[in-house]
């Protein structure tokens, strides 16, 4: 895990027992997790009674560094050894590393969900209903005799169901099914790299 | 023999034979199991041969016989050199089966250790992690939305998604070396909100923090690489290098913007063409055309963008233009205005040409004026000199003397000053030379030190990369080792093998000792028999000579002969006993091996099978006769 200068300095301040005593350290970690996971921005999140002992600028720098480090650790899905080696290099004591790792494990799933909610995703297809039509004749041609499929894809887009309707001929439907099979094979190949 | 059997059973299990847990040794294999194991091995070794063979023995006796023969043939085709026939499978005995199975297991193609050939490197690790994640997601079965557990919510029913929107953050820290102003410090302390509260959308907090961090990290890395490559060479301090680069870039930007903003000469209307695309501008900066991103690896599927059956859209018809009166009027007005514009432009051009002409003539006139003034001042000087000489003329002799004295005095002074100057000049020149030498030496040293620094940097980089790579490989290998199946412990086998090797060595030593002992004994025996023969011959002669005369000597001769005979017989008997003992030992060994092959049971089975075949034959014959 690579960290930039300001984050390293902020974390070193966090590791320093003369600047942050253990209870302040714990409180700051909790505050950092809360500020990331809460649904509303809270400008007063650092105004806790416990944290008043620490100087404001140092507090803000450490808060920035802690939030950045937490997000990077979740982004890289870092395991315990990576996190501990990273924090050890920044002069964290073993006890503080344990406290950090406990808090990290507690909130990891929610943070993963938070990170996974960034991005775009086309709607998911849940169900398909189809209807086969048969065109017998029309006003220009006496014998048409062509089957058509009317397909309705029940999709779900961000929680709300939507329907995508379309009609296609037999060949187009075969093409679609063929492309779906190609896509499935692609995914399987990607999983076997 | 147990370990060999364990290895065999393990290998057979890997091939696919179902060996139950209780069978610990090959002795307990039944005929069915043997046939199944052999057929599976043959199928793996040579799919062509093994495809036709069934894995289980058919019930009919003749069919069994046929299967046995074909199996034996297949094994011989693969290359088994021992004696093999249908009896090996139907009426098996332990040593034959063991050797056959060992041969087949050795012939099995080795599962090559491909895992160790995989390329290391960050991208490969990332790809493997991606593949593992995809595999994990594929293994979770799809459930309809009403049945979904929270476990599936991530991949199967995603919630609301936000796009990656970044807002700039202001951090409370400042770069070291620059002292912040007091007001900035106060702002940071009292008013600046914490980082998570700064973006206006709370959903963009995560994106902004990550982006800020990555931007800082990549800027630091770029600065490092640039400083190491170019900055050190320029021998400036970092700040000077940075300021120089800043001015250089600013100049370049100004040039480019100016050249892009100039009106192009070929536009017919004369007005400035709208400045080109921003991308073209940036292209001009870079000085090279941007390379088209060729599509790199991707499957056929990822490259296709349309279905095969998209309808081609009918080309849009050319719009039908109506000539209306207002259009004609507008066009006329346009033409008039453009004519006017052209006239005005030409006038402007003329005026600028005139202006240029005027400035040129103005400059010329100024030059002339200067030159004339210079001539004037020269002439004034000459006039002054002439005036002075005329004033001095009346008192000419005295003045001439005074002037000569003045001239001499000034000449002497000049000489004196020149000598003083020489005195000063020499040490100064030496000093100058010395300082120049020091300067050049320091240049050399500094360039040497620079190259050393560069090489040390390179070494540091290379060794950190190697250390990282080795740690990565170590981690990967540890995880792979944990994932490997733990059935057969290799260390036990290697221990046994080493023990066996040392045992064999000891036995070899003992055998050589025994051999040498035997040789010595044989030599002794030979020498003793030779001695005996010679002694007997001599005694015989002696006694025989005396035997003709004396009766007692004749008796003693007879006794001697009898003694010789009896001793010979004794020796022969002893030798005979020895051979018989050896034969007994051999026969005992043979009895043991024969006992190992379950001949009696097999014989009974053969008898019963023979009876069954006879019955089948009679049944078939009856059928043939009937039908």
Instruction: Read off the pLDDT of residues B249-282 as tens digits, 9 standing for 90 and up.
Output: 999 999 988 888 876 554 444 444 455 566 766 6
Among residues A87, A116, A145, the one where a domain terminates is A116
Q: Which residue in chain A has the smallest CA separation from B190?
A: A56
Q: What is the pLDDT of residue B22?
A: 65
Residue after which a domain boundary falls, among B449, B469, B488: B488
Instruction: Note the pLDDT of residue B321.
Output: 46
| Distance of alpha carbon A139 from alpha carbon A155, whole angstroms | 36
| One domain for residues A98 and A131 | no
Closest CA to A59 of A95, A98, A16, A93: A16
Domain match, B7 and B105 both: yes
B174 domain-assigned:
no
> Left, alpha or beta for B578 (phi > 0: left; psi -120 to 50: alpha)?
alpha
In a domain, B148, yes or no: no
Q: Is the pLDDT of residue B116 over 50?
A: no
Instruction: Tell me if chain A has a CB within 8 Å of the CB of B216.
Output: yes
What is the nearest CA distance from A116 to chain B, expressed in angstroms?
8
Q: What's the CA angle centered on A133, arms A130 and A139, to 5 degrees?
A: 150
Q: Are residues A112 and A132 in the same domain?
A: no
Residues A91 and A172 in one domain: no
Q: Are strands A160-168 and A146-157 parallel, antiparallel or unpaired?
A: antiparallel
Distance CA(A100)–CA(A60), nearest Å, equals: 18
Instruction: Tell me if B453 sits within 8 A of B232, measured CB to CB.
Output: yes
Whether B49 is covered by a domain: the verdict is yes
- Residue to mutate among A1, A31, A37, A60, with most B CBs inside 10 A, is A60
Span B212-242, pLDDT tens digits: 889 988 998 898 888 877 777 777 777 888 8
* Lowest-pLDDT choice from A93-107, A125-139, B305-319, B371-385: B305-319
Q: Is the model's pLDDT at B132 over the cut of 70?
A: yes
**Averaged pLDDT, B464-477:** 89
Flag whether pLDDT at B340 surpasses 90: yes
The model's pLDDT over B424-458, given as tens digits with 9 standing for 90+, comes to: 999 999 999 999 999 999 999 999 999 999 999 99
> By three-state DSSP, how is residue B338 classified?
helix
Give the H/E segment covering residue B5.
Answer: helix B2-15
Question: What's the pLDDT at B526?
Answer: 94
Domain boundary among B79, B110, B141: B110
Q: Are residues B382 and B403 in the same domain?
A: no
Max CA separation in chain A (angstroms): 94
Per residue in B535-573, pLDDT (tens digit) is: 999 988 888 888 888 888 888 888 888 999 999 999 999
Same domain as A67, residue A98? yes
Query: Contact at 8 Å (CB) between A137 and A143?
Result: yes
Distance from CA of B176 to the nearest CA of A (A): 10
pLDDT of residue B158: 63
Look at residue B488 in the predicted model and tell me its pLDDT: 61
Q: For residue B199, list chain A residues with Cβ-Cβ distance below 8 A.
A: 41
- Residue pointed to by tokens 């009856």: B622
| pLDDT for res B133 | 86
> Comparing B370 with A30, which gets the higher pLDDT?
B370
Is B112 a residue whose pLDDT tops 50?
no
Predicted confidence at residue A125, as pLDDT, reads 85
Mean pLDDT to the nearest integer, A142-146 = 89
Same domain? For B88 and B17 the reply is yes
In whole angstroms, give the CA distance from residue B277 to residue B258.
15
| pLDDT, greater one: B27 or B58 | B58
Find which of A1, A3, A5, A6 to mutate to test the B interface (most B CBs within 10 Å of its CB).
Answer: A6
pLDDT recorded at residue B226: 85
Domain boundary among A116, A135, A155: A116
Report chain B's mean pLDDT, rounded to a whole number: 81
Q: What number is the average pLDDT over the span B397-422?
A: 93
R_g over Cα of chain B: 57
B339 to chain A, any CB pair closer than 8 A? The answer is no
Q: Are residues A48 and A105 in the same domain?
A: yes
The closest CB to that of A6, out of B173, B185, B307, belongs to: B173
Task: For residues A44 and A107, state if they share a domain.
Answer: yes
* In-domain check, residue B21: yes
Position B315 in a domain: no
B277 belongs to a structural domain: no
Rounded to an integer, the average pLDDT of B84-108 is 80
Tell me whether residue B36 is in a domain: yes
Domain count for chain B? 5
In sequence order, which residues have a C-beta less than 8 Å from that of residue B605 and are 6 or more positions away? B90, B91
* pLDDT for position B260: 83
Q: Which token pair is A5? A: 């200068």
Query: When comparing pLDDT for B76 and B507, which is higher?
Result: B507
What is the span of the domain harbouring residue B515? Answer: 499-596
- Output the CA angle B21-B24-B26, nearest 5 degrees: 120
pLDDT of residue B449: 94
Same domain, yes or no: A109 and A131: no
What is the three-class DSSP state of B487?
coil
pLDDT of the residue at B287: 56
Say if residue B10 is in the same domain as residue B88. Answer: yes
Same domain, A102 and A169: no
Same domain assignment for residues A76 and A40: yes
Do A28 and A90 belong together in one domain?
A: yes
Does residue B101 share a domain with residue B16? yes
Of the candidates A9, A17, A14, A37, the residue with the CA atom closest to the CA atom of residue A100: A14
Q: Are residue A42 and residue A26 in the same domain, yes or no?
A: yes
Distance in angstroms (rounded) separating the CA atoms of residues B335 and B341: 10
Closest CA in chain B for residue A156: B157
Residues A169-173: contacts with CB under 8 Å, at least 24 apart: A169/B309, A171/B309, A172/B307, A172/B309, A173/A149
Domain boundary among A64, A89, A116: A116
Enumerate the residues of chain A whose CB falls inside 8 A of the CB of residue B205: 36, 41
Convert the pLDDT of each residue in B576-609 to its tens digit: 999 999 999 999 999 988 877 677 777 888 888 8
Threshold 0.90, pTM exceeds = no
Alpha helices, H only, B31-119: 31-45, 47-50, 61-78, 86-90, 94-107
Domain that holds residue A81: 5-116
Any idea which of A151-160, B41-50, B72-81, B333-342 has the lowest mean pLDDT? Answer: B41-50
Domain count, chain A: 2
Point out the domain boundary residue: B83, B110, B137: B110
| B144 touching chain A per CB within 8 A | yes
Residue B153 pLDDT exceeds 50: yes
Q: Are residues B559 and B474 in the same domain?
A: no
ipTM value for the complex:
0.83
The pLDDT of residue B466 is 94
* Residue A174 neighbours by CB under 8 Å, 6+ apart: none
Same structural domain, B546 and B473: no
Q: Which range, of B20-34, B78-92, B380-394, B416-430, averages the lowest pLDDT? A: B20-34
- Do B462 and B503 lie in one domain? The reply is no
Q: Is residue B274 part of a domain?
A: no
Give yes or no: residues A64 and A28 share one domain.
Answer: yes
Is pLDDT of B166 > 50?
yes
Q: DSSP readout, B525-554?
A: HHHHHHHHHHHHHHHHHHHHHHHTT-HHHH
């Amino acid at each position: 895990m690579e960290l930039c200068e300001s984050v390293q300095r902020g974390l070193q301040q966090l590791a320093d027992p003369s600047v942050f005593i253990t209870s302040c350290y714990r409180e700051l970690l909790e505050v950092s997790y809360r500020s990331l996971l809460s649904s509303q921005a809270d400008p007063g999140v650092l105004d806790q009674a416990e944290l008043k002992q620490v100087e404001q600028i140092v507090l803000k720098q450490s808060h920035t560094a802690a939030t950045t480090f937490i997000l990077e650790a979740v982004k890289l899905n870092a395991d315990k050894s990576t996190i501990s080696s990273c924090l050890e290099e920044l002069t964290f004591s073993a006890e503080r590393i344990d406290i950090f790792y406990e808090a990290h494990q507690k909130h990891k799933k929610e943070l993963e969900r938070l990170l996974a909610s960034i991005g775009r995703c086309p709607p998911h297809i849940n169900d398909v209903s189809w209807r086969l039509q048969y065109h017998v004749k029309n006003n220009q041609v006496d014998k048409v005799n062509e089957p058509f499929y009317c397909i309705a894809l029940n999709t779900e887009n961000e929680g709300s169901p939507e329907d995508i309707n379309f009609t296609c001929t037999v060949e187009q439907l075969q093409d679609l099914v063929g492309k779906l099979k190609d896509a499935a094979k692609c995914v399987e190949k990607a999983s076997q790299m | 023999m147990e370990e060999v059997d364990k290895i065999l059973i393990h290998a057979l299990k890997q091939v696919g034979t179902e060996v139950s847990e209780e069978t610990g040794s090959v002795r307990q294999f039944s005929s069915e199991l043997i046939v199944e194991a052999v057929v599976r091995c043959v199928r793996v070794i040579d799919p062509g041969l093994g495809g036709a063979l069934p894995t289980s023995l058919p019930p009919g006796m003749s069919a069994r016989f046929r299967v046995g023969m074909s199996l034996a043939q297949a094994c011989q085709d693969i290359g088994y050199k021992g004696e093999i026939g249908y009896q090996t499978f139907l009426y098996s005995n332990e040593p034959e089966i063991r050797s056959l199975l060992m041969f087949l297991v050795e012939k099995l193609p080795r599962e090559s250790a491909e895992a160790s050939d995989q390329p290391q490197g960050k991208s490969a690790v990332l790809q493997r992690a991606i593949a593992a994640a995809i595999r994990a997601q594929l293994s979770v079965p799809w459930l309809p939305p009403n049945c979904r557990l929270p476990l599936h919510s991530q991949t199967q029913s995603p919630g609301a998604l936000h796009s990656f929107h970044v807002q700039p953050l202001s951090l409370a820290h400042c770069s070291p070396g620059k002292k912040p102003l007091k007001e900035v410090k106060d702002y940071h302390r009292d008013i600046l909100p914490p980082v998570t509260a700064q973006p206006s959308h709370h959903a963009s907090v995560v994106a902004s923090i990550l982006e800020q961090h990555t931007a800082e990290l990549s800027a630091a890395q770029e600065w490092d690489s640039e400083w190491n490559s170019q900055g050190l060479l320029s021998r400036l301090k970092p700040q000077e290098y940075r300021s120089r680069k800043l001015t250089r870039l600013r100049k370049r930007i100004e040039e480019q913007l100016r050249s892009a903003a100039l009106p192009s000469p070929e536009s017919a209307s004369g007005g400035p063409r709208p400045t080109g695309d921003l991308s073209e501008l940036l292209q001009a900066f870079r000085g090279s055309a941007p390379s088209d991103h060729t599509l790199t690896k991707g499957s056929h599927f990822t490259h296709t963008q349309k279905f095969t059956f998209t309808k081609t859209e009918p080309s849009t018809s050319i719009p039908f233009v109506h000539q209306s009166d207002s259009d004609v009027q507008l066009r006329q007005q346009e033409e008039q205005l453009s004519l006017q514009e052209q006239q005005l432009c030409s006038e402007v051009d003329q005026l600028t040409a005139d202006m240029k002409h005027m400035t040129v003539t103005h400059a010329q006139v100024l030059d002339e004026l200067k030159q004339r003034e210079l001539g004037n001042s020269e002439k004034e000087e000459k006039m002054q000199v002439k005036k002075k000489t005329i004033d001095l003329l009346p008192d000419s002799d005295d003045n001439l003397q005074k002037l000569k004295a003045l001239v001499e005095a000034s000449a002497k002074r000049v000489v004196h000053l020149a000598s003083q100057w020489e005195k000063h000049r020499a040490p100064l020149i030496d000093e100058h030379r010395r300082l120049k030498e020091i300067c050049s030496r320091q240049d050399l040293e500094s360039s040497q030190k620079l190259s050393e620094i560069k090489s040390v940097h390179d070494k540091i980089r290379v060794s950190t990369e190697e250390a990282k790579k080795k740690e990565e490989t170590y981690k990967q290998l540890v995880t792979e080792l944990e994932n490997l199946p733990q059935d057969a412990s290799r260390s036990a086998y290697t221990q046994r093998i080493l023990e066996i090797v040392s045992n064999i060595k000891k036995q070899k030593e003992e055998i050589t000792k025994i051999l040498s002992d035997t040789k010595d004994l044989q030599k002794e025996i030979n020498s003793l028999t030779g001695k005996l023969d010679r002694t007997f011959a001599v005694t015989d002669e002696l006694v025989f000579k005396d035997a003709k005369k004396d009766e007692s000597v004749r008796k003693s001769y007879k006794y001697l002969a009898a003694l010789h005979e009896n001793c010979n017989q004794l020796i022969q008997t002893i030798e005979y006993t020895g051979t018989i003992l050896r034969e007994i030992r051999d026969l005992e060994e043979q009895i043991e091996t024969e006992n190992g092959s379950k001949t009696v049971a097999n014989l009974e089975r053969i008898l019963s099978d023979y009876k069954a075949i006879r019955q089948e034959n009679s049944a078939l014959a009856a059928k043939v006769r009937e039908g």
